[in-house]
């Protein structure tokens, strides 16, 4: 193999790897909206979806959630919409991480309303940005649990594909806010 041939092959591999990483970042870029506000930037992560745990008996539909981060700040607002067969006055959102670590956050209820044969409940929790970022760097998907008082009512776990997407979005957001 000639030196020129080796150089061209190396150059082709390098360009291909750059293109692949750019495409990945571009795919996640459309998930983040940024807007200036007094004193900083507001970052909004478009709604994502997670399926309920297997065997749930509440006829739950996938959880829809979005995240808002006001920079500079140390917390995110985690907004979620739960659709169930019955209404619940949820009090806490728990993040279940690897090694059985659990972080619990109080919930605010924006609204609960009937829709057909189901109930739609819109909730909000604030949590440290660093915790969500660190959780997103875990190898295994986290589990989100909604409680009434101390009782678990419904849980959601990211699939591997959903988790990889979430990791990519948070990684990109972290790169954006580091400038």
pTM of the predicted model as reported, rounded to 2 decimal places: 0.82
Reported as a pLDDT band with limits 50, 70 and 90, residue 93 is very high
Across the beta sheet with 32-37, the strand order is: 32-37, 40-50, 63-71, 75-84, 118-128, 108-115
Q: Output 94 or 15, whichever has higher pLDDT.
A: 94
Contacts of 119 (CB under 8 A, 6+ apart): 83, 84, 85, 86, 87, 112, 113
Specify the range with the lowest mean pLDDT, choosing from 53-62, 64-73, 141-150, 162-171: 53-62
Tokens representing residue 44 in the block: 């909004």
- Convert 23-38 to b/e letters by CB count within 10 Å (16 or more is b): eeeeebeebbeeeeee
Q: Which secondary structure element, helix H or strand E, spans residue 172, and what is its range?
A: helix 160-177
CB contact at 8 A, 71 and 44: no
Reported as a pLDDT band with limits 50, 70 and 90, residue 3 is low
Q: How far apart are the first and last CA of the chain?
A: 44
Q: Output 106 or 18, whichever has higher pLDDT.
A: 106
**What gap in Å lies between CA 127 and CA 134, rounded to an integer?**
12
Q: Is the pLDDT of residue 167 over 70?
A: yes
**What gap in Å lies between CA 47 and CA 65, rounded to an integer?**
5
């Amino acid at each position: 193999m000639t030196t020129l041939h080796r150089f061209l092959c190396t150059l082709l591999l390098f360009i291909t790897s750059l293109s692949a990483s750019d495409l990945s970042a571009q795919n996640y870029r459309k998930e983040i909206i940024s807007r200036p506000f007094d004193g900083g930037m507001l970052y909004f992560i478009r709604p994502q979806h997670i399926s309920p745990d297997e065997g749930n008996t509440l006829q739950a539909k996938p959880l829809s959630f979005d995240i808002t981060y006001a920079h500079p700040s140390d917390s995110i607002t985690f907004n979620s919409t739960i659709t169930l067969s019955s209404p619940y006055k949820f009090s806490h959102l728990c993040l279940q991480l690897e090694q059985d670590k659990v972080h619990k956050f109080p919930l605010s209820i924006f609204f609960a309303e009937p829709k057909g044969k189901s109930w739609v409940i819109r909730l909000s929790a604030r949590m440290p940005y660093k915790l969500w970022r660190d959780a997103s760097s875990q190898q295994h998907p986290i589990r989100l649990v909604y409680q009434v008082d101390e009782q678990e009512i419904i849980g959601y776990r990211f699939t591997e594909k959903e988790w990889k997407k979430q990791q990519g979005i948070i990684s990109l957001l972290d790169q954006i806010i580091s400038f």
